Chain A
Amino acid sequence: MRAVAVNLAGMVESPAIGPTPYRVGVDGHPYVPVGDGGIVLGVGLGDLVSAALGDHVSPGATVGHPDQPARHGLTAYACVGNPVVVRSGASAGATGRVFGKRGEDGRLLVWLPDEALERLRPGDGVAVRAYGQGASLPGLPAGVEVLNLDPWLAPALGITVGPNGVEVGVRAVVPSRLAGNGIGRPAQQWDVDLAFPAGDPVLAALRLGDLLAVADLDVRHNMGFRRGHVTVGLVVHGDSPMPGHGPGLVPLLCGPAALLRPVADQAGHEGLTTATLSEAPASAAPGRAG
């Protein structure tokens, strides 16, 4: 069956804080969350997840929708690699790409060139050409699922489909017990936060845009523990002081360990880069009827 593309609308978000500015970190210390949504400058794909002093920091802009069901729809259908066009404001006409999504109410993480990001303002409208849910990769073996991924991006992420399964380079393979916020939630609409303990060597090496594998995690029908299943995803936001929170993983591939084989390279791994997104080919318009 052919997958379907949908043009959707979204709005650049403003970060939201409740009546108290404080959140509480794992050791009981209050802090003011900086960089948790909205338009974030000075952070890029390839940065260490622990580099920016903030909470759930991701590069670029977060995009939502004022109507909650439409917001869930936008989050569910948009996929990593989808084209984005700014439709209003001083950056109207600028183009970027979806590189992630986040859960709860749902929001997209959108990369835009720096000059467009500088002129962007919360409330600006964007159009997203959502394509990927329901799509597959050529030759993908039965049992391995792909989700949240615009298929054009698969080769650039080093996803190799062969007769005996899928191989993909990752920064590391981590155990599912790190999975915090996001577990038990639908992977098409949430990222899963990985609560790395302080001083973890993988945390020290992890970068925004990295591919990372989680052992014993099944994300096909909600995210949960299943022995022998592997999930590979993209690291889309930085660390968090909150317990049960941490760098966020958007699942892209899930399957039994025999068919989905992550190859870890903790020192040399390169994941999704700004160059890959900025040099993306103009849409080949997959997902059209005709």
Chain B
Amino acid sequence: MKVESNADRLVTQLLAGEVWPATADRHAYRVDADGTPFVLPGMGGVTLAGHLGEPATGWASDHLEPGLSVRHPDPAANYALQYLSCVGNEVTLVSGASAGGRGTVIGQHAFVLVDAADHVLEGATVGDRVTVRAYGQGLALREHPSVRVKNLDPAVLAAMPGGTRPDGRLEVHVAVDVPADAAGAGGGMASEFANTDLMGAYAGLDDTLSLGLESLRIGDLVVMRDTDHSWGRGYRPGWVTIGTISTGQCALFGHGPGPTTLLSGPAEAFHVVTNADANLSAYVAESRRTRTEVAA
């Protein structure tokens, strides 16, 4: 994205985390929108489904968390890990059979979510330790003071299409336009924690539940209409929020594929371009290439 920022002033912190187990309780079942009980995998552990660019929905899963689900066992250190990790940050496994393997933060969901190549994921398991190069909180766009940037590695920002237009607005490309009606669980929480579940993406269920969001992919850039995530997530007419889909299929009602917050501000500050290819997969690949060249 062609935009001036304060990226040269940001600080990198190395944070520790570990792959967290999937958890359940002795009652086993949750219920879906129609009251049908289910037991489905998705949260915690190493989930071997849904890389960046792949469908978010259509999996037999609840709260699908692609790749590694990472936490820190100390509550305060965990909040720091969740708040400071940004989309595009590099993650390195430092223990287990995949030690030395690398991945990328794709969002937060009360876990830091890490996508990696299949051979890295196949060798990883619960308890494996990771290091996150946390970098991005504090990012600001010099010519767009009303736009708040959250959870975004500057290298990904640089790889995104768009930028400052001659009319002063910020051009952002998104794959999907999301109505405010879709905002589900996650409303009212801090924008740096977890994500916003989108309702209306219950593939295969009743039409009364659909908001046309069944085709979302992991990593899709989306615009959420009438939504402000500047200082927490909520409904606000005339504001928009840009996010990237970091979690997938949900069965639990009021939940769904979730965007991690990236940009938020008054609608007039943005020029939103709809482009089916607007997906984090391309931007992460580009940011990796740039980072490697800089290191060389």
Chain A residues proximal to chain B, CB less than 8 Å: 24-28, 175-185, 193, 195, 197, 216, 218, 220-229, 242-245
16 contacts between A and B (CB under 8 A): A175-B181, A177-B179, A177-B235, A184-B186, A195-B234, A195-B235, A220-B35, A221-B32, A222-B31, A225-B182, A225-B209, A227-B208, A243-B188, A244-B187, A245-B188, A245-B234
Contact A26 to B232, CB < 8 A, known contacts A185-B254, A222-B252, A224-B253: yes
Most chain B beta-carbon contacts within 10 A, residue among A176, A216, A229? A176
B189 sits at the interface (CB 8 A): yes
- Bound-state CA distance A264–B185 (Å) is 28
9 additional contacts, CB 8 Å, given A195-B188, A226-B209, A244-B187?
A26-B228, A26-B231, A181-B187, A183-B187, A184-B254, A185-B254, A222-B254, A224-B209, A245-B234
Q: Which of A197, A218, A223, A229 contacts B235 (CB 8 A)?
A: A197
Closest chain-B Cβ to A102's Cβ sits at a distance in Å of: 12
B187-A180 in contact (CB<8A) = yes
List the A side residues contacting B187 at CB < 8 Å.
179-181, 183, 195, 244
B33-A226 in contact (CB<8A) = yes
Interface residue tally on B, bucketed by range: 35 or more
Chain B residues proximal to chain A, CB less than 8 Å: 31-35, 179-189, 197, 199-200, 206-209, 211, 226, 228-237, 252-255
- Bound-state CA distance A175–B206 (Å) is 20
- Bound-state CA distance A69–B122 (Å) is 37
- Bound-state CA distance A222–B202 (Å) is 14
B254-A183 in contact (CB<8A) = yes
B253-A229 in contact (CB<8A) = no
Contact A243 to B236, CB < 8 A, known contacts A184-B254, A224-B33: yes
- Bound-state CA distance A222–B236 (Å) is 23
Closest chain-B Cβ to A214's Cβ sits at a distance in Å of: 12
Closest chain-A Cβ to B191's Cβ sits at a distance in Å of: 8
List the B side residues contacting A27 at CB < 8 Å.
230-231
Q: Which of A28, A185, A193, A228 contacts B185 (CB 8 A)?
A: A185
- Bound-state CA distance A218–B209 (Å) is 10
- Bound-state CA distance A243–B226 (Å) is 12
Closest chain-A Cβ to B95's Cβ sits at a distance in Å of: 32
List the B side residues contacting A177 at CB < 8 Å.
179-181, 183, 226, 235
- Bound-state CA distance A26–B234 (Å) is 8
B233-A243 in contact (CB<8A) = yes
List the A side residues contacting B229 at CB < 8 Å.
243
Closest chain-A Cβ to B85's Cβ sits at a distance in Å of: 20
List the B side residues contacting A228 at CB < 8 Å.
208
- Bound-state CA distance A47–B202 (Å) is 40
The 10 closest A-B pairs by CB, nearest first: A184-B185, A184-B254, A181-B188, A244-B234, A224-B254, A244-B188, A243-B234, A180-B187, A243-B232, A244-B187
List the A side residues contacting B181 at CB < 8 Å.
175-177, 216, 225
A243-B230 in contact (CB<8A) = yes
B253-A184 in contact (CB<8A) = yes
Closest chain-B Cβ to A32's Cβ sits at a distance in Å of: 16
List the B side residues contacting A24 at CB < 8 Å.
231-232
B235-A180 in contact (CB<8A) = yes
Closest chain-A Cβ to B203's Cβ sits at a distance in Å of: 15
List the B side residues contacting A216 at CB < 8 Å.
181
B183-A226 in contact (CB<8A) = no
B200-A225 in contact (CB<8A) = yes
A195-B184 in contact (CB<8A) = no
- Bound-state CA distance A175–B226 (Å) is 13
List the B side residues contacting A221 at CB < 8 Å.
31-35, 253
Closest chain-B Cβ to A224's Cβ sits at a distance in Å of: 3
CB-nearest residue of chain B to A197? B237
CB-nearest residue of chain A to B229? A243
Contact A180 to B234, CB < 8 A, known contacts A26-B228, A225-B181, A245-B188: yes
Most chain A beta-carbon contacts within 10 A, residue among B34, B253, B255? B253
List the A side residues contacting B185 at CB < 8 Å.
183-185
B232-A229 in contact (CB<8A) = no
List the A side residues contacting B209 at CB < 8 Å.
224-227
B231-A244 in contact (CB<8A) = no
- Bound-state CA distance A223–B230 (Å) is 25
CB-nearest residue of chain A to B32? A221
- Bound-state CA distance A11–B32 (Å) is 34
- Bound-state CA distance A226–B235 (Å) is 18
B34-A244 in contact (CB<8A) = no
List the A side residues contacting B183 at CB < 8 Å.
177, 180, 183
